[in-house]
């Protein structure tokens, strides 16, 4: 039973990582934000990225946002240290 739960959590984390990657690429196309599917993607990934958005390099106008990278690293660490040992 625990193995099944770990597999489900593993798949959810993998889907979240792909969602963050897709959102990162779509951020270069701001005209697509009005699409409902894209808005859903932003709604799902925003809670994951918000805690890490304070880690930026550069000025206010040209800051580089590392929150997707940091969120993916944290999700990978959770996946490898907490979830995968239960397989």
For residues 79 and 10, the answer to whether their CB atoms sit within 8 Å is yes
What are 6-33's pLDDT values in tens digits?
Answer: 899 999 999 999 999 999 999 888 887 7
Structural element, H or E, at residue 61: none
Total number of domains constituting the chain: 1
Q: Which residues pair with 57 in a beta bridge?
A: 64
pLDDT tens for 29-72 read: 888 778 889 989 999 999 999 998 876 676 666 667 889 999 99
Coil, strand, or helix at residue 56? strand
The residue segments making up the domain with residue 62 are: 2-86
């Amino acid at each position: 039973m625990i193995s099944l739960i770990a597999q489900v959590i593993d798949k959810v984390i993998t889907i979240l990582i792909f969602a963050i990657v897709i959102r990162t690429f779509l951020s270069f196309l701001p005209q697509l934000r009005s699409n409902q599917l894209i808005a859903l993607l932003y709604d799902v990934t925003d809670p994951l990225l918000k805690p890490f958005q304070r880690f930026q390099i550069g000025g206010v106008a040209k800051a580089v946002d590392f929150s997707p990278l940091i969120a993916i690293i944290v999700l990978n660490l959770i996946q490898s240290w907490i979830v995968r040992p239960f397989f």
